[in-house]
Structure 1
Amino acid sequence: MNYFELLAWLGIGSSHPGGFPATQQNLEVIQVKAEDYVLDAGCGSGLTACHLAKTRGCKIIAVDINPQMVEKACLRAEKEGVSHLVQFKQADVNNLPFADNHFDLVIAESITVFLDKVKVYQEFYRVLKPEGRVADLEMVLLAELPPHLRRQMEACFGSDTNPLPPEEWLNALTQAGFQDVMIKNPQRMKNNGNVIMNELKKDWVLVKGLAEKAAYLPSLITRLQKNAGFMKKNRAYFGFGLVCGRKPTPTPPPKKAGFRDWIRQALQWKYTRSYSTKVL
C-alpha cells in the first residue's frame, strides 16, 4: 500500500498536521454559520464534516476520491445522527461535480500539498459563490528542505508531496483569483508524538476492526512509526496553517451608451463649447 491507500484502509481522517485539535481550532477561526453551505474537499472518513454538522448545524457536502473513505464517512454520519445535514460523494477535487457559484465555504485539510495547487484552487474558486471563502489547512515549509530530506519525505508520504513556503501558498491562491489571501492560525510543527496513532486510539470508526487489520498487516505499526519519526526528527523545517482567501464579487461590465446617452453627450459638448467661446 502507498500512504494514501494505507490511510483509506484504516479510515484515518485526521492525518493532517496538528490532527483533530488543529481542526477544532481552525473551525473557530473560520466562524462557520448555520446558514452556510459548505464543501469539505478531501473529507477522509468524515470526522471534520460530522463534527461541523453537530456543532454548527450547517449543511455540508463532503467528497473524497477513495470509495473506502466515503463508505466509512457515511457510516460515521449515520451513527452520529447527522445524515440529514451531511452528504458524502466520491469525487476528484480537480473536477468537482458541482455547478459554478454553489457553496459559501470550501474547507480542505492536507490534500492540496499533494496536488497542483493553482489547479485545485481554481476549481474551489469556480464552485464558490461570490464572496465565498476557502480555508485550507496545509503544511508550510519554514526553511528550504535539503535534497536528501526531500527524498526521505517523498519516500514516507509519496512522490507528489510538495509543501510550500507561506508566500508561495498565498501566491497560488492569488493566481486562482482569490483576494484577501492570508495564512490564519500559523503554527510550528509540534513534537506531539505520532498524530495518526493518537487518532487511532480516540476514533471509534478507526478502532473498529483495528486488531484484525494489524494482524493482517504486521508491518502497519512500523510503517506509521517511520512516517512519524521523519516528522519528529525534522519538524524544525515544517509548520502548518490555514490558507485562506475570498472570491470577490465580479465587477459588472461598463454600460454601453445608447442613443439618448449619445444625444445628451453631444448637447453637453455643444453647450460647453459655446460657453467657452463666449467667455474668450
Structure 2
Amino acid sequence: MASLDTKRVEDMNYFEMLAWLGIGSSHPGGFPATLQNLQSIQILPEDYVLDAGCGSGLTACHIAKTTGCKIIGIDISSEMIDKATQRAASEGVSHLIEFKVGNVQQLPFADRIFDWVIAESVTVFLDKVKVYREFYRVLKPEGHIADHEMALLKELPAQLKQQLEECYGSGTNPLTYEGWCQTLTQAGFQDVEIKNPQPLKNNSNLIVNALKKDWVLIKGLADKARRQPGLLPRLQKNAGFMKQYRSYFGFGLVYGRKPTPPILPKSKSFKDWLLRLLRFQ
C-alpha cells in the first residue's frame, strides 16, 4: 500500500483516514466506553490477550498498565502499528506488548493460544462469521471474546444504508443486538450476551472526540489539516450523518466464551472387548 502521506484524503477509505490521523478510539462511545467495557470483564495478569485491530494502541497500552498482562496487538495498517509501538515505548509498556501488521480475517497465530480476544469497531466492516471463527480458533478453551460494536436499534432504510457505506466504506453492516448474538453463537461461542448496551449520544462525532482525548493524535494534526484541505469536509460528512441519524444506532460489547470440548470416552481395546464377552458366557 502506498504511503498515506502521498494520498489525498478524499481518496482514502475510512480505515486509511483513521490510520493517517492515527486514531485508535473512533469506536462508538470512544475511550470512555472502552473503560466501561473493561470494568465489566476481568482480564487477569496471567492472561494472554489479542487486541484485534489495535489501531494506535490506546486500549492495549491501558490494559497492559492496569493489569500487567501480556498483549499482542495487530492492525492491517503499518502506520497504525508504528504509532502503537511509539505509544507503548512512551508509556513504558513495551516489555508487555508486541504490535505487528496482521489481518483479523486471517490471523497469523496458532490455534488455542489466547485467553482473550478484544476488538473495537472492526467486525462491523468485515465478514462477521469469518472473523468470529478466526477469533474462536486462536482462543484457548474457556477463552473469551469481547468485541465492542455498533448496533442497529431499528431497521435502516435502503437509502440510509447506502449513505452509511458512502461514509464508512462498502460492506459496513451493523447488526441488531440479537443479530450480533446470533452471529457469535453461529461461530461456536457460548454464554453469549451484549454487555453495556446503549444508544449513541449527542456527542457522536467519533473522530473529533478521539482527537480531543488522545494525546498521540494532537502531534502534527495542524500540519495535516493545512496539507489536506479536504480533511474538514470529510470529517463533517461523517459526523453529519451520525448526528442526523443517530436514533438508528446504539452500541455494546458482544461477549462470548469458547467452551471446552467434551471428553469422548476412550475406545475399548480388543482385550477389553474379549474380557467383557467372556464375562457374559
* TM-score, structure 2 normalization: 0.93
Pick which of 149-158 and 199-208 moved more. Answer: 199-208
SS in structure 2 opposite 1:234? helix
**Residue of structure 1 equivalent to 2:268:** 257
Give the Cα separation in 2 of the matches to 1:202 and 1:266. 74
Pick which of 110-119 and 256-265 moved more. Answer: 256-265
SS in structure 1 opposite 2:119? strand
The Cα shift of 1:261 comes to: 2.8
Q: 1:58-105: CA deviations, max 9, x gaps?
A: 110000000000000001001111100111000001111111111000
Aligned residue identity for 1:179: Q
SS in structure 1 opposite 2:175? coil
Give the Cα separation in 2 of the matches to 1:181 and 1:203. 31
Aligned residue identity for 2:233: T
Tell whether 2:20 aligns with 1:9: yes
Tell whether 2:200 aligns with 1:189: yes
The Cα shift of 1:252 comes to: 2.4
Residues 173-212 of structure 1 mapped to structure 2, 5 A cutoff: 173-212=184-223
Tell whether 2:111 aligns with 1:100: yes
Tell whether 2:82 aligns with 1:71: yes
- Given that 2:28 and 2:204 are in contact with CA atoms closer than 8 Å, whether structure 1 keeps it comes out as no
Give the Cα separation in 2 of the matches to 1:89 and 1:33. 23
**Residue of structure 2 equivalent to 1:276:** none
Give the Cα separation in 2 of the matches to 1:176 and 1:107. 16
Q: 1:11-33: CA deviations, max 9, x gaps?
A: 00011011000000001111111
Larger radius of gyration: 1
Q: 1:153-176: CA deviations, max 9, x gaps?
A: 111101110001122211211121
Give the Cα separation in 1 of the matches to 2:204 and 2:26. 12
Gaps of 5+ in 1: 271-280
Residues 118-267 of structure 1 mapped to structure 2, 5 A cutoff: 118-267=129-278
**Residue of structure 1 equivalent to 2:91:** 80
Q: 1:129-180: CA deviations, max 9, x gaps?
A: 0100000001111111001111111111011100011222112111211111
* TM-score, structure 1 normalization: 0.93
Q: 1:41-61: CA deviations, max 9, x gaps?
A: 000000000011111111100
Give the Cα separation in 1 of the matches to 2:203 and 2:214. 17
SS in structure 2 opposite 1:55? helix
Give the Cα separation in 2 of the matches to 1:251 and 1:31. 25
Give the Cα separation in 2 of the matches to 1:201 and 1:183. 28
Give the Cα separation in 1 of the matches to 2:260 and 2:23. 37
SS in structure 1 opposite 2:216? helix
Give the Cα separation in 2 of the matches to 1:95 and 1:68. 19
Count of residues in correspondence between the two structures = 270
- Given that 2:30 and 2:210 are in contact with CA atoms closer than 8 Å, whether structure 1 keeps it comes out as yes
Gaps of 5+ in 2: 1-11
Give the Cα separation in 2 of the matches to 1:233 and 1:203. 25
Q: 1:180-206: CA deviations, max 9, x gaps?
A: 111111111111142311221222210
The ranges of structure 1 where at least 4 consecutive aligned residues each deviate by more than 3 angstroms after the TM superposition are: 267-270
Aligned residue identity for 1:190: K
Give the Cα separation in 2 of the matches to 1:204 and 1:187. 27
The Cα shift of 1:264 comes to: 4.4
